[in-house]
Structure 1
Amino acid sequence: MLYLRRGVAVLVAVFATCAIAACSAPPAQSETAATPAVTWHTAKATSQELERTVVALLPAEAVVEVDQAETGDVDVCNSREYRWLGITTVTLDESMTPGEAVAFIEARLGELEWTLVPDHDVLRNRRLVATDPKTATRILVKGDGADEEIQIASTSPCFASSNDVVPGPGY
């Protein structure tokens, strides 16, 4: 039960940080005018694929386990648009610390010309907000210094949606 509470607390903290990062960064060009063809299904698929792409940047021997959440949340961007939020947790081998993993991902994404905003949380744990130049999807990569894992949270660009979307979990 304690593990479940801890997992929920981590998920809430990551979503809050990702939402703050998404709101504080200047909007990507694709967010200024939502594309009607994008649905929560396509936003989810794109975001989850990018989470897997980021995991694949790590050395295979450093990754013990990957746990990608099957569902995510839909959050409000503004009065007419939404964004999809997801998360993947990566358990690391003892050969790589969470801080080293975040730094490694930062270097690799820099080579791929992503927009990078490196930072530290209040506990001085390294974190990174990165934006994919092709999809404008943002990710937050953060490691907790006490655990041997990192979290990769994704935030899709804003999209217009039909009446089938209500903000909340389970998407």
Structure 2
Amino acid sequence: MVALTLALTACGTGVTVEDPDLTLYGAKAIAQEGETEVIAAIPEHIVRSVDQRPTGSLLSCTGERNYQWAGGTTVHVAPDTDLEAVIDDVAHAYSEQPEWEVTRETATDGAPLVTLYRVTTGGYLVSGEEDRSTIEIYSFSPCFHLPDDMTPHGSY
């Protein structure tokens, strides 16, 4: 999980604000809707439950007070699910959409991993966890400018 968190943070480096009207809560909504879309690429019959975290944190983007909202969802899957195949299916579903950049990898712990990125919706790391009972979806939104009256250190 630490490796995924570091990878997620690295994704925000050098990213700039594309939509000057995007707010923190709009960015959060985009990221969480994207998590839900990723879940839709997972076969329904293997999904036992979904736990979308209600809050996340902010990652820096290029420029003063520019941030991305970062959050996540845990998908609990049926025992003996072939997570390699599921992650491959997610990667394939997104690779057929030209606006998405898709990178299929293996995490340092051997877990299957796919990175999905699109400028307008941010990015997602989708990984089968070591215990093979969950799929983690880590999200980060497009960049937005945080107003001066909000702290970047809060949980939103």
Q: Percent identity?
A: 29
For the aligned residues, what is the CA RMSD? 2.0
**Contact 2:125/2:138, CA 8 A, preserved across alignment:** yes
In the alignment, which of 99, 103, 113 is matched to residue 127 of structure 1? 113
More helix by share: 1
Residues 104 and 63 (structure 1 numbering): CA distance in 2 closer, same or farther, change over 3 Å? same
TM-score under structure 2 normalisation? 0.87
Give yes or no for contact 2:12–2:59 (8 Å, CA) kept in 1.
Answer: no
CA displacement at 1:83 relative to structure 2: 0.7
**How many matched pairs?**
154
| More moved, 86-95 vs 54-63 | 86-95
TM-score (norm 1): 0.80
Q: Which amino acid aligns with 2:27?
A: A
Q: 1:77 aligns with which of 53, 61, 65?
A: 61
Counting only pairs closer than 5 Å after superposition, residues 146-165 of structure 1 correspond to structure 2 as: 146-165=131-150
Indicate the residue corresponding to 2:6 in structure 1.
16
Q: Which amino acid aligns with 1:148?
A: S
Q: Structure 1 pair 33/52, CA: closer, same or farther in 2 (3 Å)?
A: closer
Q: Distance in 2 between matches of 1:166 and 1:93?
A: 40
Cα deviation, residue 99, structure 1:
2.2
Aligned-pair CA distance for 1:13: 5.0
C-alpha deviation, 1:22, in angstroms:
3.6
Alignment of 1:37-52 (within 5 A): 37-52=21-36
